[in-house]
Amino acid sequence: MMDFEIFEKKLGLKFNNKDLLKQAFTHRSYLNENPDFKLDHNERLEFLGDAVTELIITDHLYRDYPEKAEGELTNWRAALVNAKMMTSVAEELGFNDFLLLSRGESKEMGKARAYILANTFEALLGALYLDSGYKACDEFLQKYLLKNLGEIIKDGSYKDAKSKFQEKAQEKVSITPNYKVVKESGPDHDKIFIVGVFLGEQIIAEGKGSSKQEAEESAAKLALEVKKWN
């Protein structure tokens, strides 16, 4: 069994209820192979932790940047609380060594593991909130998540590809990009869109997605590469 005291020492945490900490790392698949395990999986904790994390990050951004408009703060928050960032922080903090997974799930890496790590990060915040309250969560997020904000602002990674491509296009060629659906396929409940991004009449790139927004973002990302505007 995992020794969660090692985890606590490493991260400077002290849980009163050790079961809450263990539950935060318990994936649904683990219970399928261990029906006698006394704890539930972590999905309810994840639900709570998602809200706690968003509130604390929002609170800090609101207080620390009074001169910034809502739109920019929203983008910064999205860059901090998205799955990619949470996965990165969870990996950095060694979450992989403590996950309780089925044998099959433990072999899965890549996107599947990244998804589990991001969810576990939120579940840990839910567990910490129930165990030690708002202040403990605030300190944890300041120490491990909010510290990334400076880098996010500096490198502009909070901007999505569409925003970046529009900025570059206006700067380089004084044209605002426009997007057109080139093709739609599949049934209504499972459509695939192919969208082209244009500068004037010239198509720069095409992107694919399960929504128009996703396809536009994909097209903009590729267009940045095509134009070497990254």
Question: Which of the residues are catalytic?
Answer: 50, 122
Question: Distance between CA atoms of 122 and 82, rounded to whole angstroms?
Answer: 11
E strands present in the chain:
178-185, 192-199, 202-209
Residue 68 tokens read as 């910034």
DSSP assignment of 164-206: HHHHHHHHHHS---EEEEEEEES-GGG-EEEEEEEETTEEEEE
Report the C-alpha gap between 8 and 21 in whole angstroms: 9
